[in-house]
Amino acid sequence: MATTPAPAQDRSVVRTLLRLWPYVRPVRARLFTAAFVAILASCVGLVIPLVLKWMVDGPVAGRDPAGVWLGALYLLLLGFAEALLFGLRRWLVARPLSRVEASMRAALYRHLQRLPVSFHDRWASGQLLSRGTTDLMLLRMFLAFPLTFLLVNGVTILVGVIIMLLQDWTLGLVILGPAVPLLVTCVFFEKRYATAARRAQDQVGDLTTVVEESVLGIRIIKGFGRHRSQARAFRELSHELRGTELRKARLLATIWGVIVTLPEVAIGAALVVGAVQVADGDLSAGTLVAFLSTALALRWPVESIGFLLAMTQEAATATERYFEVMDEQTEEAGPAPESVPADPRDRGLRFHDVTFRYPDAPPGSPPVLRDINLHIRPGESMALVGTTGSGKTTLTALVPRLYEVTSGRITLDGVDITTLPREALRAKVAVAFEEPTLFSATVGDNVLMGAGDTAGPDALERALAVAQADFVHDLPQGTATQVGEQGLSLSGGQRQRIALARAVVGQPEFLVLDDPLSALDVHTEAAVEAALRQVLADTTALIVAHRPSTVLLADRVALLSGGRIAAVGTHHELLRTNAEYAYLMSGAESGRQEEAR
């Protein structure tokens, strides 16, 4: 299973979170306004103890009922104002933060589409899904709550401590006693929680991968009776994730216990000292009430430190994971090679000394393809034949630049494909793979994906006719019928014919077919080949073939052996002159006869 890159051990949480600024910048005005409103609400809350002091030392001490009722009215108005301001803060941040999350998700999706195939070969799909869902949800929650309240609570604590020191500095020092132990505990907690948060989020990605693979491969699981082993694998990953989440909970419980206990002890000590001072006449009862009320008002800002730090660490980890993908270089990255004037002799599709090694191959390993020299002339179709694992599919993937050649070059009509924008290149080259992929869309949409935006019903019907895919008209809604996920509601041959229709619908200049008829029965294959000959007469084609009938579609044949082109010629020439080719075709012909029976 593909895993994510190892996280950096020494990271700056602030520096990591600052990478979110380009996404937050468009809504910064509302976020700053919301933070100001929240600070104002907290400061309104700190005025309440001062009103209590006035009430105790004034109307209560003087037995003035009217003053008590007036003080109660003040308290009611202050409480109402505080609630209104906090409600306004939430209204200010709800819509813009949803927009930030949506823009980040859209940016991630666009980036994934532009990343090379080699990236997707390395990364598990579940890891990418968790970054686009769970991680972005954590970031939205961080921007909505912890980011604001780390500032708000900091200001509230500062203002509250100043108020307490102004009321009685000795009691203020008693309250400030736990500050150093709290700071040490937070530093200790931060490092350990960051490690646990990263592990948990990676494990969520692994679990997502298992679920996705189990859903997509449900036929295999049921067919081989492997539901118990899959359930066991899921339970093991779930158990690991549960253990990590419990470790996070233990860390959070520990810091919460410390953060709650120390201030409570300090408040208790302040109550004792203050009561003694009131008894001695050194402190008024109202001042003590106001002091303790202020201290109690600061309980939530102090106690929430652990919770806010935990969410901040998770947000930093989510940011780190998000940018691990966003920092990957896209296909367009890097300087384009200098354009070389087209050589008239290179018309058609040509491979010039092409060597290819997969990007993640071990150092020193032999290349998959070596010194490939092959020329497919304009309007010519060439079959590519070879044993399993000889590199045929890899060679076809180089033409639309799904992978980049390690050395050498490929030209279309004399133009190096690396000098062409990928969009222009893939408008010229159409592909059909042996394992067809269909999307959860209509049959028509799946086929027209291979054409430009201007393709209409006529092009669709023509492509379906070439691929002998008339069966689509018998579906419940015809070409408007929704295809299930991966097209699994259709047979393998039906999926392959729709994929072939998608390849030819745009009438491309160059056609690359990777054994496109392997799943068809004998009679359907013959009908498709007859229609396909008309298409091949007007295009330059490279066709991976295993059957003699498919080989006979081509004008010439290239034999790929050991990563090299071993021979090129017509089918009949190679049968006479090349033993390896004759052996491959004799095996294919024998299998074909068995299939016909």
Q: Give pLDDT tens digits for 461-511.
A: 888 888 888 888 888 888 888 886 666 677 777 888 888 888 888 888 888
DSSP 558: E
Q: Which of 455, 454, 437 is nearest to 446 (CA)?
A: 437
Please tell me the distance from the alpha carbon of residue 86 to that of residue 46, in angstroms, as a whole number.
14
Please tell me the distance from the alpha carbon of residue 266 to that of residue 175, in angstroms, as a whole number.
5
Report whether pLDDT(278) > 70. yes
301: confidence class by pLDDT, cuts 50, 70, 90: confident
3: confidence class by pLDDT, cuts 50, 70, 90: very low
Pairing between β-strand 369-376 and β-strand 415-416 as defined by DSSP bridges: unpaired
Amino acid letter for position 365: S
The residue written with tokens 């700056």 in the block is 12
Neighbours of 559 (CB within 10 A): 21
Give one DSSP letter per residue of 241-297, joined into a string.
HHHHHHHHHHHHHHHHHHHHHHHHHHHHHHHHHHHHHHHHTSS-HHHHHHHHHHHHH
Least confident of 226-240, 304-318, 473-487, 543-557: 473-487
Can you say whether the dihedral through the CA atoms of 274, 276, 277, 281 is positive or negative? positive
On average, the pLDDT of the chain sits at 82
Please tell me the distance from the alpha carbon of residue 147 to that of residue 32, in angstroms, as a whole number.
11
Contact in structure between 546 and 519 (CB atoms under 8 Å): no
As a whole number, mean pLDDT of residues 523-530 equals 76
What residue spans define the domains of the chain?
Answer: 23-326, 379-390+399-596
- 569 forms beta bridges with 557
Q: Which of 221, 416, 254, 318 is nearest to 16 (CA)?
A: 318
Can you say whether the dihedral through the CA atoms of 495, 496, 501, 504 is positive or negative? positive
Report whether pLDDT(355) > 90. yes
Please tell me the distance from the alpha carbon of residue 439 to that of residue 495, in angstroms, as a whole number.
11
Report whether pLDDT(170) > 80. yes
593: confidence class by pLDDT, cuts 50, 70, 90: very low
Does residue 109 sit in helix, strand or coil? Answer: helix
Contact in structure between 415 and 345 (CB atoms under 8 Å): no
Per-residue confidence (pLDDT) for residue 339, from 0 to 100: 52
Assigned CATH topology for domain 379-390+399-596 = Rossmann fold (3.40.50)
Please tell me the distance from the alpha carbon of residue 225 to that of residue 305, in angstroms, as a whole number.
50
Please tell me the distance from the alpha carbon of residue 192 to that of residue 274, in angstroms, as a whole number.
39
Q: What are phi and psi of 66, to 5 degrees?
A: -60, -40
> Which tens digit of pLDDT belongs to each residue from 432-449?
887 777 787 888 888 888
Token pair of 368, please? Answer: 């998959």
Task: Answer whether CATH 1.20.1560.10 is correct for domain 23-326.
Answer: yes
Please tell me the distance from the alpha carbon of residue 278 to that of residue 444, in angstroms, as a whole number.
85
Token pair of 16, please? Answer: 């990591």
Q: Do domains 23-326 and 379-390+399-596 have the same CATH topology?
A: no
The residue written with tokens 């109660």 in the block is 72
Token pair of 560, please? Answer: 């790929």
